[in-house]
Copies of this chain bind each other. A is one copy, B any other.
Amino acid sequence: MYVYKYPRPALTVDCVIFGLSENENALKVLLIERADEPFKGMWALPGGFVNMEETLDQAARRELEEETGLKNAFIEQLYTFGDPDRDPRGRVVSVAYYALVNLSQHSISAGSDARRAEWHLVTQLPPLAFDHHLIFCTALKRLQGKVRYQPIGFELLPEKFALSQLQRVYEIILGKELDKRNFRKKILSMGLLVELPERQKGVPHRAAKLYRFDKEKYRQLESEGFMFEI
């Protein structure tokens, strides 16, 4: 069993980058228009080959940054897709990641390498290249599952947010309406939100209190066995 005598699949990372469009109240995904064959002209998830000297996480972050300019977004490995004929060019195994970014504070550029990158509503995706539709569905399911028992909803919001914004995040991801009073009670009772002195500005109605998520406190509570749950 010697490492070098075996043929090797090519190895890539693909990223499902979720963004929250707050004005449209919708969840979006960043897609790239393919410039080359195969699937030339089709939409695809951003991705690329893993360099020999970088970790998989680094490869995924590199892709994320190339496409969005973001360096510190939430990112997590999703699943590895390795069907032998998922790529017509040959055996390509892809480690998929998903990322959560706050769409409203970043005008995503067109992509560093001049590929056309656009945000698409998750409810109206065009046909995708390769098995990217499968990857996307896997990511969405994971997001919907994870958002209920881990505090990742915050990752889609700016650092300072109002409770109604947070509630909307959950409603959008879970696809159902939540009761305002119950939601506030629940989320505030966890003691993970810090009320800020500021308030919303420039809204044509009563300005909401702003909060931030207390990551430190969460880490501490978590280590004591606390379980976040919506």
Contacts and interface: CB of A to CB of B under 8 A. Distances in A.
Interface of A: 1-4, 6-11, 36, 48-50, 52-56, 77, 79-80, 82-84, 87, 89-93, 95
Given A1-B48, A53-B84, A77-B79, 9 more contacts: A2-B89, A8-B10, A8-B11, A9-B11, A11-B11, A50-B93, A52-B91, A56-B80, A93-B95
A175 to B, nearest CB: 12
Contacts of A4: 10, 89-90
B77 A80 contact: yes
A67 to B, nearest CB: 14
B52 A3 contact: no
A82 B11 CA distance: 11
A149 to B, nearest CB: 9
Contacts of A89: 2-4
A130 to B, nearest CB: 12
B82 A56 contact: yes
